[in-house]
Amino acid sequence: MTRKVRRLLFYFLFAAFILIGTLVVFYSMGWRVDLDDFTLKQTGGIFIKSRPREIEIEIDGKKIEQRKWLLVSGTLIKNLLPKTYEVKISKDGFRNWKNEIPVTAKTVSEINNIILLPNDFIFETAASSTKDFWIKEGRLVILNKKLEYKENIFSGSKFIGFLGNDKKAITYDEKQKAYILNDLDKKTTSNLSLIFSNLRKKDSSIKDRSAIEKIITREGNGEEIAIISKEAIYSMNIIKPEITQLEKKTGGSTDIGSERFLILGAGEKITLLDLTSKEKVYQKSIEGESVKRAELNEIQNAGILMESGNLFYIKGTEIKQIAEGVSVFALNQRDKIIFLDKDKKIKIYNAEKDKTIEMEVLNPENILSLNFLEDNHILAEYSDAIYLLETASENLELKDYSFYFERVAGFSEAINKFYLDKDNKEIYILDGEGNLKKSDYFKN
């Protein structure tokens, strides 16, 4: 082999090395040739995480082989050219999940926490011949002929809440028109309405003599409760006993977001009270409006619905109007609020990102309530059915963020009462025949 041939061979191999090396680098960085237009494009991916975990995944009709990782429970599909893909997730015995997912260059489109519903959603019967029920701190109280809790009987006809543990509880007796303190250890009852009335009379600074409208127990607190009369809000220590008038009011809506804080919406005023320090955190006014309903979450963010249908959101001490013509709304425990507005669409406002996404669902005008199961899973209550709404990530650019709207369960008669135990993720439904049904599917 001559020197000239060797030199040419060297130059050829060197050029081939540079070319192949460059292609390898570009390939490792996710660059691929799009055969539709023969252009070089950088790829993205889709990450899928579901419950149950053992699933089959198809993208544009092609089955995807899943790799199992020690510390990662989801599936990452890499090297996808930028476009929209049809993703199908299936499992025997479960309803299929199918959606169009956009993929952009250098980005992974995350589909987290997909919940597949079983073909047959099963409820167990928790009680029969039931007139009403309450879930407080994960404990079930039932009204049949009497108020029943486990093997115990409470005095009264309506359950209000436990005090500290499950040995003391407050109930309401409709015949006596009085609130009752039940002590299961001592097997005694006390007329709390009468005690409260006597304490007000002893305090010359308190002129209010109006009836109790509402009592709110404080989770984990066995001594203090909040009492709302027609004209004022009080903190009452039932052990000493003593009362402190916190705020005067006329009508309004109240809610407790944690063991410590209570919000009052009365007229155009919104007041946040600290039940521990007995102080006012803030008071705001919305001129020309009147509060219809106030809701407070665990981090003291609030949703305020006005009689006009205008919906306001309070984060910290900042208040912002976010919608008009609202009929129902609900808060999660962080920075989101879901609502049904004048457009008859379900919308979720994220206060942290100051962004609203919207979803189109079946017969939105018939929705009775919305309940956060998780940040991206909502239970919608209709008169005869419960639906699961799964929303897409706000990071995806979509016109409609409803990934999944599927009936969880339907009933031949109207649902008398629906309740979601958010702490334990259990569903309770009281049907028209007095059967109390329970499902813990979402807990697992």
| Cα dist from 39 to 35, 83, 302, whole Å | 7, 14, 51
pLDDT band at residue 64 using 50, 70 and 90 as cut-offs: confident
**How far apart are the C-alpha atoms of 422 and 230, rounded to whole Å?**
30
Average pLDDT over residues 90-117: 91
Q: Please determine, for residue 351, whether its predicted confidence score (pLDDT) is greater than 80.
A: yes
Q: What is the pLDDT of residue 9?
A: 62
The upper half-sphere exposure of residue 364, i.e. CA atoms within 13 Å in the direction of its Cβ, equals 18
Q: Please enumerate in sequence order all residues whose Cβ is within 8 A of that of 70, keeping only pairs 6 or more positions apart, or say none.
A: none
CB 69 within 8 A of CB 53: no
Average pLDDT over residues 382-407: 89
Average pLDDT over residues 348-363: 93
**How far apart are the C-alpha atoms of 286 and 135, rounded to whole Å?**
34
User: Mean pLDDT lowest for which of 4-18, 64-78, 169-183, 286-300?
Assistant: 4-18
Burial of 174 per CB tally in 10 Å (0-12, 13-18, 19+): exposed
**How far apart are the C-alpha atoms of 360 and 64, rounded to whole Å?**
30
Average pLDDT over residues 372-390: 93
Average pLDDT over residues 336-362: 94
Average pLDDT over residues 154-182: 94
Closest CA to 370 of 405, 403, 319, 335: 405
Multiple choice CATH, 43-115, 3.20.20.70, 3.40.50.2000, 3.65.10.10, 2.60.40.1120? 2.60.40.1120
Q: What is the pLDDT of residue 40?
A: 63
The model's pLDDT over 401-438, given as tens digits with 9 standing for 90+, comes to: 888 899 998 877 789 999 999 989 999 999 989 999 99
Q: Please determine, for residue 235, whether its predicted confidence score (pLDDT) is greater than 60.
A: yes
The domain limits of the chain are 3-34, 43-115
Phi then psi for residue 217, to 5 deg, are -85, 155
pLDDT band at residue 220 using 50, 70 and 90 as cut-offs: confident
Q: What is the pLDDT of residue 252?
A: 86
**How far apart are the C-alpha atoms of 320 and 331, rounded to whole Å?**
15
Q: What is the pLDDT of residue 394?
A: 82
**How far apart are the C-alpha atoms of 117 and 298, rounded to whole Å?**
29
Q: What is the pLDDT of residue 106?
A: 83
> What's the pTM value of the predicted model, to 2 decimals?
0.86
Q: What is the pLDDT of residue 89?
A: 94
Q: What is the pLDDT of residue 379?
A: 96
What integer best gives the mean pLDDT of the chain? 88
End-to-end CA distance of the chain: 74
**How far apart are the C-alpha atoms of 344 and 328, rounded to whole Å?**
11
Q: Please determine, for residue 15, whether its predicted confidence score (pLDDT) is greater than 80.
A: no
CB 82 within 8 A of CB 104: yes
**How far apart are the C-alpha atoms of 268 and 55, rounded to whole Å?**
52
The model's pLDDT over 114-161, given as tens digits with 9 standing for 90+, comes to: 999 999 998 999 999 999 999 988 899 999 999 999 999 999 999 999
**How far apart are the C-alpha atoms of 101 and 123, rounded to whole Å?**
33
User: Mean pLDDT lowest for which of 6-20, 246-260, 270-284?
Assistant: 6-20
Percent of the chain with pLDDT over 70: 90
The model's pLDDT over 263-285, given as tens digits with 9 standing for 90+, comes to: 999 999 999 999 999 999 999 99
**How far apart are the C-alpha atoms of 62 and 88, rounded to whole Å?**
10
**How far apart are the C-alpha atoms of 319 and 301, rounded to whole Å?**
10
Average pLDDT over residues 243-267: 89
